[in-house]
């Protein structure tokens, strides 16, 4: 069964969603802690939390909110956004993150990412592979790197990475369906990868398609916030 992971993105201590990563499209949905408790009360066990302020500032910003979410909900939290240094990583874990997503650092400073992988192990790190037109985007998707997605995945899967969060940025927040062909291609190339699909989920049917294709996990958010997915119905699949 596919792992269902609700997403909470944070700007200024508030739960928000963007479209295609564009900060100008920000829409607020209230308290991140309240959202976390709602997901917990519907039986979900894990959260994907993104510090969008941190991603933009290139250092972790919303630690207090992370700590509140983790302590009050008791959920397993994977956290990303602005984790660039050993100190950022330590602070995120100390604030209650069980796993940390590292994406930009794996592009800009591969040695640091590989050091973290060796120190913390593959079960506590998620490789953030967010792509636009086949290239990895970094720093809150504000910059497109020259690194090709396939080269990026090959390098770090060979180095021992197991968890990969892959977002097709062109689909993010669009509610128009996921990048299913891309995810199938990744699973064919790396059958032992714990791939987390992200971006474009607009209905339970989109999740069913991913599950039928053998994708291990999916992140979703906006479809719930916008009433496109009934959380009570989805929770029956947990």
User: 62-105 pLDDT, tens per residue?
Assistant: 999 999 999 999 999 999 999 999 999 999 999 999 999 999 99
Contact 165, 129 (CB under 8 A): yes
9 tagged catalytic: yes
- pTM here is 0.96
Which member of 51, 88, 130, 206 is catalytic?
Answer: 130
**According to the model, what pLDDT value does residue 99 have?**
98
Contact 235, 229 (CB under 8 A): no
The hierarchical CATH code for the domain 3-235 is 3.20.20.70
Cα 92 from Cα 174, distance rounded (Å): 29
Report residue 206: phi and psi, to 5°: -60, -40
Which member of 9, 78, 88, 172 is catalytic?
Answer: 9
Strands 3-11 and 217-220: parallel
Look-up: residue for tokens 């970094």?
A: 138
Token pair for 29: 């949905």
What are the tens digits of pLDDT across the range 20-51?
Answer: 889 999 999 999 999 999 999 999 999 999 99
Alpha-carbon distances of 84 from 49, 129, 154, 208, rounded to whole Å: 16, 15, 22, 35
Percent of the chain residues topping a pLDDT of 90: 94
151 tagged catalytic: no
Report residue 231: phi and psi, to 5°: -60, -35
Cα 135 from Cα 190, distance rounded (Å): 18
Alpha-carbon distances of 3 from 81, 109, 173, 210, rounded to whole Å: 22, 30, 20, 10
Residue 142 pLDDT class (50, 70, 90 cuts) = confident
Specify burial of residue 158 (Cβ count, 10 A radius: 0-12, 13-18, 19+).
Answer: exposed
């Amino acid at each position: 069964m596919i792992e269902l992971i609700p997403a909470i993105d944070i700007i200024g201590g508030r739960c928000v969603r963007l479209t295609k990563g564009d900060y100008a499209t920000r829409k607020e949905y209230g308290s991140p802690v309240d959202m976390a408790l709602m997901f917990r009360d519907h039986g979900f066990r894990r959260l994907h939390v993104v510090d969008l302020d941190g991603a933009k500032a290139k250092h972790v910003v919303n630690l207090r909110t992370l700590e509140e979410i983790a302590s009050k909900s008791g959920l397993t939290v994977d956290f990303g956004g602005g984790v660039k240094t050993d100190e950022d990583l330590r602070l995120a874990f100390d604030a209650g993150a069980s796993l940390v997503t590292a994406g930009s650092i794996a592009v800009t400073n591969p040695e640091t990412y590989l050091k973290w992988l060796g120190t913390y192990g593959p079960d506590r790190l998620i490789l953030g592979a967010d792509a636009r037109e086949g290239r990895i985007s970094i720093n809150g998707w504000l910059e497109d790197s020259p690194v090709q997605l396939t080269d990026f995945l090959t390098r770090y899967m060979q180095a021992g990475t197991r968890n990969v969060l892959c977002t097709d940025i062109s689909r993010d927040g669009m509610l128009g369906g996921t990048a299913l062909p891309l995810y199938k291609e990744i699973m064919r190339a790396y059958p032992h990868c714990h791939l987390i699909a992200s971006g474009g989920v607009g209905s339970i049917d989109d999740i069913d398609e991913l599950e039928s294709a053998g994708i291990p996990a999916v992140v979703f958010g906006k479809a719930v916030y916008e009433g496109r997915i009934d959380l009570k119905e989805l929770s029956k699949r947990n």
